[in-house]
Amino acid sequence: MSAADPGMATLVERALALSRADDCIVIGSEWSTANVRWANNTSTTNGIGTGNQLHVVSVIDRRVGSVGITNPTVENLESIVRRSEAACEGRPEAEDFMPLLPGTGTPPHWADPVGSPGIGVFAAMAPALGDAFRRAEAAGLRLFGYAEHTTSTTWLGTSTGMRRRHTRLDGLIELNAKTADFARSTWVGQTTDTFDDVDVPALYDHAVERLGWAETSIELPAGQYEVLLEPSAVADMVFFLYSSASAREADEGRTVFSRPGGGNRIGEQIFAPSVQLYSDPAEPDLDVASFVATSSSSSFSSVFDNGLPVGRTEWVRDGALRALFSTRHWAARDGGEPTPFVANLIMPAAGPDLAEMIAATTGPALLVTCLWYIREVDPQRLLLTGLTRDGVYLIEGGEVKGAVNNFRFNMSPVDVLAQTVQLGTSAPTLPREFGDYFRSISMPPIRVERFNMSSVSRAT
Amino acid sequence: MPDVDPEFLDLPYRRLGEAALTRARQLGATYADFRFERRRKQNIRVRDRSLERLTDSQTVGYAVRVVHGGAWGFASAVQLTPDAAAATAEAAVSVAVTLAPLNSEPVELAPEPAYRGTWVSSYDIDPFAVPDNDKVTFLTSINERMLRTGKVAHVDFAVGQVLENKYFADLAGSDLVQQRVRVDGDFTAARVDDASGAFDTMRSCSLPSGRGWEHIATAYSYGAEADEVPDLLEEKMASPSVEPGHYDLVIHPTNLWLTIHESIGHATELDRVLGYEANYAGTSFATLDNLGTLRYGSPVMHVTGDRSMEHGLSTVAWDDEGVAAQQWDLIRDGVLVGYQLNRQMAHKQGFGRSNGCAYADSPGAVPIQRMPNVSLQPAATDVTVEDLIGGVERGIYVVGDRSWSIDMQRHNFQFTAQRFYEIRGGRLGGQLKDVAYQGTTTEFWNSMEAVGGPSTWVLGGSFNCGKGQPGQAAPVSHGCPAALFRQVNVLNTASEASE
């Protein structure tokens, strides 16, 4: 927006006022971000940035036109609204058409300005990171990593009077430590809202402790192993499972949650009885938007559901599938209630901590820090392949014996959670692979009875 | 050559660039560049017989990148005023100053002449000039063609189109305007056996291209493929499960492009070799001490990098550091002979000049080293797919990419495909199911006995190759012929799942 423009909340209102469509949905967003990246004990790329986007979704005769632009202004607003209206012309009717939800009134702070810490968010972290670089250099180690902080705000308005706003603070830090010959490597990462809770020396000490575990190198062949998956690894597997949990796709017979003969597997005992999974937009430290906001329809959501409240949703209780996500359109087919996708995921557990789980392991078992390059091999079984990364350790007799070579795995998250025999304590974690898209997640370390390590990887 | 979109030319990029670069120079930047971008995108998805979504979006913004006090600083913004551009230059300098204590290697760049010019990629039909309803009608008709056979339960057809405009200027005097168009479209059919619950999918073998709408409408034969896929999917689901073991593989370019991308394209990125991606995308086994000596593959292996081939998804005239597009060898006669470079790495490692591999995926993104078009060259004389199959006693013919995964140093990979056909006694048999091939990069490429001729060569590629933090998606092409590999490890994925 130009300096003369009145703010995104007002632009959303003005766009709605300009609309001549049967219905109109306007979604505005603004964000500011700061990031720094480092390698070989020195910073590499970095930057700050701001951005915005305004989407206008017009509905005319059940037809949808969706147009988005950067930098909306009072001057260009009408052209965007008209373009979205013109886009409806001649299109087929939307299959997921539903009347828009009724208004909720304007929430408090609707038009308040959004602050941003800018590069200053790293003010305390940067010197500590510099100290870590110097410690690493002195110890003959190399540090690599990344820190990012984003403040983003979404405004949703509809022609039926719906007004919703959500502001989110979101950040992460990752630290990868290697020996100078790259033969040993460890990783630690965490999410953070403000960086006030980031303890760089503690992260460094953790990474270096793991490098110490790796001073003994053990070669193991491919095969079936008992594994302790650390929370990041659990998060990546469970997120893949969650992203496959569309009710529509299951009802259509094309996911692991499809029931032979039709329908889905809701109610079926699929996982170990100790496994629970839920989402809750109000979850402490993992709070996310409590309403649907989308400029296009997909298997995950419908434009006609904009503003739909998102509440606590139990996906798995005592190992039984309790829900799959669905839109209002899909749920209405059998008179059910919609179950919106929620942008966080929690596996509650209050078991032992990881050290206690290691101590209780007679072994042999593998401790797996994180996973990488996870892809679907077979949708019928949701068989996934991927790699272990930056820390696989052999545990025997309640102790870490040394670092093991990496493996390629072929394993379904369904089988992972079916063969889970112990859960540790759940805590917010950073999924190594899918943290770019989904990082409001709390997982415990888990013990899996059998995990298929398909082949050895030479990667270190 | 098509014209640059006049709507882009009306934007005040040059005025903002002057304001930003002037301010950066005043503040003591020893290097500064200004990059202004506009991206138009349209995504369409037809689900069975219904339009699920058709979204148009446009992103406009700019970035200032400086070297100040030997450190990088970068800032981006969307406000299109000279004052805002100057303020963005100030912000970039402040980032460099704030983070200078973390920097122990003063930034120096390989030299490159200043250029002034305009370039537009090669395409016939601007996809944004085609009526939306014509596009939807086309996609729906393809889906209908498959659904009416009764052999598939669902078909999804998705098309993505991008019009990318960039303006680049720097303190050295470069002033560059570029426009690129690219499209991607593929359908996926699903067949469901209601009684048993068994299901599978088959995707078209179409691949993205640096062409216009003509790629969707005529250059790729979606209609002919739609007529085949229902029968092929039915055959696949009824086919025997593969016996795991070692097989000779004849790999069609629609599958091999992705193996090239993962095991050669990423492995020869110098930023990975130097550790810049160590925390994220990973490093590479192809380290600098191997340059000129590593036996990457068999002597028939000749792999080039380029940013200049017509219709290449990575093709430009100048990269995002103002370096002119080039072509070079990465692997010659099976030996590693080159890397992908940007200006900083080219200087640091003594390569002299960058080969132009800097790219930023949006106005708010920092240019990082990204992949050029990386292609396996065909045999000089024509060798057909049938010739390659004829040389196999017991093997598998691999068509179309599907699942892909490779480790963080680019050693261990596993790929599946849309279709696997048995080869017996030099002849093609029926399909096999539950197949994946797994290998280690250098062993795999050293097992390549023969490459097909020019008639088998196909330009494949990816619309959204991911790399970097914050994550960036880059388009890139890979041309290759069919090729014959001896004794590759083949898995049975059903057995893997039940292990």
- Whether the CB-CB separation of B189 and B229 falls below 8 Å is answered with yes
The residue of chain B with its CA nearest to that of A36 is: B99
The residue of chain A with its CA nearest to that of B408 is: A459
Q: Return the bridge partners of A365, or none.
A: A226, A395
Contact residues on chain A for B285, CB-CB shorter than 8 A: 458-459
pLDDT over threshold 60, residue B68: yes
Query: What integer best gives the mean pLDDT of chain A?
Result: 96
Q: Cα separation of B217 and B201, whole Å? A: 24
Q: What does the buried/exposed string (b/e) look like for A42-80 if buried means 16 or more CB atoms within 10 Å of the residue's CB?
A: bbbbbbbbbbbbbbbbbbbebbbbbbbbbbbbeeebeeb
Shortest Cα–Cα distance, A252 to chain B (Å): 8
List the Cα angle B39/B25/A4 in 5-degree steps: 50
Residue B493 sits at the chain A interface (C-beta within 8 Å)? yes
Q: What is the CA radius of gyration of chain B?
A: 24
Distances (CA, A) of A334 to A123, A339, B50: 55, 13, 20
Question: Using one digit for the tens of pLDDT, what is the confidence trace for B120-176?
Answer: 999 999 999 999 999 999 999 999 999 999 999 999 999 999 999 999 999 999 999
Residues in chain B: 499
Q: Cα separation of B419 and B399, whole Å? A: 5
How many percent of chain B have pLDDT more than 70? 100
Regarding predicted confidence, which is higher, A299 or A421? A421
Residue A393 sits at the chain B interface (C-beta within 8 Å)? no
Question: Using one digit for the tens of pLDDT, what is the confidence trace for A229-249?
Answer: 999 999 999 999 999 999 999
Regarding predicted confidence, which is higher, A299 or B390? B390
Contact residues on chain A for B279, CB-CB shorter than 8 A: 37, 39, 144-146, 174-176, 187
pLDDT score at A1 = 47
pLDDT score at A5 = 65
Interval B183-187 mean pLDDT: 98
Instruction: With cut-offs at 50, 70 and 90, classify the pLDDT of residue B499.
Output: low
pLDDT score at A116 = 82
The residue of chain B with its CA nearest to that of A406 is: B407
From the list A47, A50, A456, the residue facing B366 with the nearest CB is: A47
Query: Which residue from A380, A436, A442 is spatially nearest to A412, judged by alpha carbons?
Result: A380
Burial class (CB in 10 A: 0-12, 13-18, 19+), B232: middle
Q: Which of residues 262-291 of A touch B (CB under 8 A)?
A: 262
Q: Which of residues 228-257 of A touch B (CB under 8 A)?
A: 252-254
The residue of chain A with its CA nearest to that of B90 is: A48
Do strands A185-192 and B199-203 pair parallel, antiparallel, or not at all (unpaired)?
unpaired
- Whether the CB-CB separation of A417 and A241 falls below 8 Å is answered with yes
Question: Using one digit for the tens of pLDDT, what is the confidence trace for A122-169?
Answer: 999 999 999 999 999 999 999 999 999 999 999 999 999 999 999 999
Shortest Cα–Cα distance, A410 to chain B (Å): 6
Query: What integer best gives the mean pLDDT of chain B?
Result: 97
Instruction: With cut-offs at 50, 70 and 90, classify the pLDDT of residue A410.
Output: very high
pLDDT over threshold 80, residue A266: yes
Q: How many CB pairs under 8 A join A and B?
A: 293
Residues in chain A: 460
pLDDT score at B332 = 98
Residue B86's contacts (CB-CB under 8 Å, 6 or more residues apart) are: B19, B20, B22, B23
pLDDT score at A299 = 86
Question: Using one digit for the tens of pLDDT, what is the confidence trace for A160-216?
Answer: 999 999 999 999 999 999 999 999 999 999 999 999 999 999 999 999 999 999 999
Q: Cα separation of A130 and B53, whole Å? A: 48
Q: What does the buried/exposed string (b/e) look like for B40-72 if buried means 16 or more CB atoms within 10 Å of the residue's CB?
A: bbbbbbbbbeebbbbbbbbbbbbbbbbbbbebb
pLDDT over threshold 90, residue B498: no
pLDDT score at A3 = 42
Residue linked to tokens 């892909």: B404
Question: Using one digit for the tens of pLDDT, what is the confidence trace for B40-55?
Answer: 999 999 999 999 999 9
Shortest Cα–Cα distance, B344 to chain A (Å): 11
Q: Which of residues 277-316 of B touch A (CB under 8 A)?
A: 278-280, 282-283, 285
Do strands A320-321 and A406-411 pair parallel, antiparallel, or not at all (unpaired)?
unpaired
Residue A69's contacts (CB-CB under 8 Å, 6 or more residues apart) are: A53, A54, A76, A80, B57, B58, B60
Query: Which residue from B139, B280, B320, B143 is spatially nearest to B213, judged by alpha carbons?
Result: B139
Residue A324's contacts (CB-CB under 8 Å, 6 or more residues apart) are: A245, A246, A247, A250, A257, A264, A266, A315, A339
The residue of chain B with its CA nearest to that of A416 is: B497
Question: Using one digit for the tens of pLDDT, what is the confidence trace for A43-64?
Answer: 999 999 999 999 999 999 999 9
pLDDT score at A345 = 98
Q: Residue type for B217, please?
A: A
pLDDT over threshold 60, residue A4: no
pLDDT over threshold 60, residue B178: yes
First-residue to last-residue Cα distance in chain B = 56
Q: Cα separation of B95 and B24, whole Å? A: 12
- Give the helix/strand (H/E) hosting A427: strand A427-428
Residue A417 in tokens: 């959670």
Question: Using one digit for the tens of pLDDT, what is the confidence trace for B359-405?
Answer: 999 999 999 999 999 999 999 999 999 999 999 999 999 999 999 99
**Residue contact A51–B61, C-beta within 8 A:** yes
- Whether the CB-CB separation of A107 and A163 falls below 8 Å is answered with yes
Interval B103-131 mean pLDDT: 96
From the list B45, B201, B412, the residue facing A459 with the nearest CB is: B412
Interval B446-463 mean pLDDT: 97
Instruction: With cut-offs at 50, 70 and 90, classify the pLDDT of residue B2.
Output: confident
Interval B332-360 mean pLDDT: 98
The residue of chain B with its CA nearest to that of A413 is: B497
Instruction: With cut-offs at 50, 70 and 90, classify the pLDDT of residue A2.
Output: very low
